Structure 1
Amino acid sequence: MIPEKRLRDFTTGVFKAIGCPDADAQLAADVLLAADLRGVDSHGVARLSGYVRLWESGRLNSTPHIRVVHETPTTATVDGDGGLGLVTAPFAMDIAIEKARQYGSGWVAIRNSNHFGIAGYHALKAVEQEMIGYALTNASPLVAPTFSTERLLGTNPICYAFPAGNYPPVVVDMATSAAANGKLEIAERAGKSIPEGWVLDAKGHPTIDATAVKKGGALLPLGSDRDHGSHKGFGLSAIVDILSGVLSGANYGPWVPPFVAYLQPVVNQPGQGIGHFVGAMRVDGFRPAADFKANMDQWIARFKQAKRVDEQQPVIIPGEPEYEAELDRRKNGIPLVEAVQKNLEALASKLGIGQL
C-alpha cells in the first residue's frame, strides 16, 4: 500500500518534470489520484507513462493557453491548446458551473485536448455545488460498431452525478463499450484472461485474450452483440462522439488521436485533438435542492432494500463501490500492482526525479 500523499507528490513531480506549471501539475495529479482512490485503477497513476509518452512525441503541450473560443450565456466551446485533458476539462467544468449558477445550466464542449482521466472527477465538481454534473469524452478508436470488425469508436465514457442528502452522490460513470480498455490492461498485467463478450480478435471472432486488441482485434460495444443489445451501446457511444468531437470541432470516430502506444495517429484529421463535453444543472432550477436530496435519499434507500437474488449480494447503487474504496484507501493507502510500480520506477529514472 502506498500512502496517498506519497503517491500524490510523486505524480505531481512527474508532471512538473515534463514542464507543467505547479498549479497544473497539482491539478493533474489530483485527477489521477481521484481514480486510484476510487478504485478505478485503470485510470490513475497507471496512465502516467502515457502522458509522458505524448509529451515526448510532441503531442502534448505542457504549458497550454486554454481559452474560450465561442460562447453564449449558457454554452461555450473551449480550446485546450493541446494540453492535458486533466487540466482542460476542470477548466471547462468551472465555466459550466458558473453559467449554471447564473442561468440554471451550463454546457461546454472542448476540443484540442488529451485524455481527461475519469469522467466522474469532472461531474462531481458540479455535485459539490449542489448541481447535477455531466461529463463525457471520446477516445482512441478501439471499438467496432455493431455488425463490424473495424475500430471506429473509442470506449467513449459517459458520466452523470447526482447529489443526495445523507447518502453519497449517485454517480453513473461507465464506458459505452462492453469493457473499458483499462480493464484489458489490468488483466494483461495480471496475466489473466478476460470474459467472453468484451473483445473480437483480428478475424472477428470472440476471444478471451486480453492482448487481442493490440494484435488487431477490437473492443465490442456495450451489449457485446446484436442479440444482447450492442446497437444500444453503439448508439450511446455515437452520442458521446458527436457531442465531444463533432460539436466541439475536435476529432471524432477513427480520426481521434490515440492515447495507447500501439495505435498511430491518422493523417488528414478533420478536427483538433481529443474532444470532451461537460455540463452542470442547478437542482434548484427545477425544485428546492433540499426536497430533491431528501427524495434522492428515499430513492437510494428503497433500491438498497430491493429483494435479492442472493442474500449475500445486495443491490449496488451507482457510485457506491467507488465511494467505499475511497474511504478505505484514504485511510489505508493505495495498492499498486507490481507491473505499475515497476513502470513508475522506470519513469522516475527517465525523468530524473525521486523514486516513489
Structure 2
Amino acid sequence: MDQPQEKIYIPHATAKAFTQSILTGNGVSPQNAKIIADCLVLADLRGVDTHGTNRIPSYMERIRQGVLNASASPSLTQITPVVAQVDGQNGFGFPAAQAGMARAIEMAREFGIGFVSVKHSNHFGMSAWVVQQALDAGMMSLVFTNSSPALPVWGGREKLMGVSPLACGAPAGKERPFILDMAPSVAARGKIYKAKRRGEKIPNDWALDAEGRQTDDPEAALGGVMLPMGGPKGSALAVMMDVFSGVLSGSAFAGHVTNPYDPSRPADVGHFLVAIKPDLFMGLDDFKARMDYLYQRVVGSEKMAGVDRIYYPGEIEQITHDERLKTGIPYVQAEIDALNQEAEKVGVEKIVL
C-alpha cells in the first residue's frame, strides 16, 4: 500500500468558487450551484472531507451518465399546516434538503413545529449542514436520510441497510450549539473511499471483506460490508432511517437506494426533516441558559484516565472549522488531480494550476 501523501492547502473561498464553476459547467443553475458548493465546502471546513468537494467527480459522473438531473429544481407540496413534501425531481440532494428545511423552519415559526418529507432525491453530503441551517434560524432540528446498501442487518452478511446518518441540533446562548451527526456504522463509508484514495489503511473493526473477515485494506472493505456500531443497536438505527426516510416518503428503501458511486440508475434517496421552535415551553433565554448549563456540565465532567479534554457533540468539527478558515482545506495530490480533470472536461480554471 502506498505511503500517505503530503497535504496541499487550498483557501475555502477558492474551493467554493472552483466547485461552483464545475457545477455550472455541468448544467447546474447558479442558484443551486451556490447551495451545493456552500454545503460541500462547509463539510471540508468541519473536517468531514469524505463528504466535501472530493465528491465532485462521482457527482459529475452521474450527470454524464444521465442518472442525475443537473438542471432539476425541487418542487414543494403543502400537505397540512405543519407538514410538507419536497420532490427532488432526481436533482442534487442539497437544494432539495435546503428547500425542505427552509419550509420546515417557516412552519415552525408559525406553528411551533414543521415536518418535511423529501422524495426522489440524491446524496446530500454531510447532514450537519442541514442542522446548521436550522440553527442559523434559531431552531432545533431532526435530520434523517436513507442511503445505498452498505451494512448487513444484525446476524446477516449481505449489504442491505445504508450507512444512513442520524443528525439533530439545538441552539445555545454563550456556549457552542449542540450538533449531532452520526452514522449507524463504526465509521462512515466515505472514510474508506478516502483511505483508498490516499493510500492509507483502515482500522480492523470498520468492515469485513468479501469472505466475512476483518480487514485493514480499504479496497477489500469496499468489496465486503461495513460493520454497524454497537452490533444490533446500530443495525436497528439503520432500519429506523429507512422507515422514516424511505418508506414514509415514497422513495427507495429496503436495499434499493443506488450507491452515489454507481452511475447506472437514479439513486431515489429519501430524507426526513423536522424543525422545532425551542421556546415552546419556556422563554428563549431560559432555554438557551439551560443549553449552556448542559454544555458546561458535559465538558466539565470528571475525565477518565488518559483524557485531557471532554468535547461536546459537534465541538471538534466546530474547532476544525475555525482552524481551516485560517489555514485552508487540506487535499492530497490525487484529489487535486481528480478535481482538475473535472475542470478540464468543462473548460474552467483548475483548483491548483
Same fold (TM over 0.5): yes
User: Please, which runs of 5 or more residues in structure 1 have no aligned partner?
Assistant: 224-229, 267-271
Amino acid at match of 1:297: D
Aligned to 1:227: none
Moved more, 243-252 or 287-296: 287-296
1:258–1:264 contact (8 Å) kept in structure 2: no
Q: How far 1:131 moved relative to its partner? A: 1.2
* 1:247 alignment counterpart: 248
SS at match of 1:24: helix
Question: How big is the shift at 1:190?
Answer: 2.6
Q: Between 121-130 and 244-253, report the one with greater CA deviation.
A: 121-130
1:10 and 1:335 map into 2 onto residues whose CA distance is: 15
Give the aligned residue type for 2:87. D
Q: Which runs of 4+ in 1 moved over 4 A?
A: 263-266
d(CA) in 2 for partners of 1:211, 1:36:
23
Q: Are 2:332 and 1:325 equivalent residues in the alignment?
A: no
AA in 2 matched with 1:171? I
Aligned to 2:133: 125
2:289 paired residue number = 294
Q: CA deviation at 1:265?
A: 4.7
1:237-316 map, 5 Å? 237-261=238-262, 265=265, 273-310=268-305, 312-316=307-311
1:193 aligned onto 2:201:
yes
Give distance in 1, aligned partners of 2:25 and 2:298: 47
SS at match of 2:274: strand
Distance 1:355 1:264 in 2: 28
Amino acid at match of 2:252: N
Give distance in 2, aligned partners of 1:310 and 1:190: 33
Q: Is residue 146 of structure 1 aligned with residue 146 of structure 2? A: no
In 1, Cα distance between equivalents of 2:254 and 2:339: 31
Q: Does 1:66 align with 2:67?
A: no
Q: Distance in 2 between matches of 1:3 and 1:324?
A: 17
Which residue, out of 88, 94, 98, partners 2:102? 94
TM-score by length of 2: 0.94
How far apart, CA to CA, are the structure 2 residues paired with 1:299 and 1:214? 39
1:264 CA displacement: 5.2
Deviations 1:252-283 (A, max 9, x none): 1211021024x8559xxxxx811111110000
One-letter amino acid of the structure 1 residue matched with residue 315 of structure 2: E
- The answer to whether residue 27 in structure 2 is matched with residue 19 in structure 1 is yes
Q: Taking structure 1 as the reference length, what is the TM-score of the superposition?
A: 0.93
**From 217, 220, 230, the counterpart of 1:212:** 220
Q: Which runs of 5+ in 2 are unaligned?
A: 1-8
Residue by residue, what CA displacement relative to the aligned partner does 1:209-265 show, whole Å, maximum 9, x if unpaired? 2112432x1111122xxxxxx11111111111111111000001211021024x855
Count, aligned residues: 343
How far apart, in 1, do the equivalents of 2:218 and 2:35 lie?
32
Question: Do 2:67 and 2:265's aligned partners in 1 also have CA atoms closer than 8 Å?
Answer: no
Greater RCO structure (CA 8 Å; 6+ sep): 2
Counterpart contact for 1:138–1:156, Cα < 8 Å:
yes
Deviation sequence 1:46-96 (CA, Å, 0-9, x none): 101111011011111122142124511111121110110011100100011
8 Å contact kept, 2:74–2:95: no
Counterpart for residue 353 of structure 1: 348
- CA distance in 1 between counterparts of 2:201 and 2:329 reads 24
CA offset digits 1:286-332 (Å, max 9, x no partner): 22121111111111111111212245521111010111111111122
Give 1:5 deviation, angstroms: 1.0
What is the aligned-residue RMSD (CA, Å)? 1.5
1:149-195 Cα distance to aligned partner (Å, 9 max, x none): 10011110010111111112111101111110111112212322211
Q: How far, CA to CA, are the matches of 1:166 and 1:213 in structure 2? A: 43
Conserved? CA contact 1:79–1:111, under 8 Å: yes
Q: Determine the C-alpha separation between the residues in 1 that align with 2:251 and 2:155.
A: 26
Which amino acid is the alignment partner of residue 222 of structure 1?
Answer: M
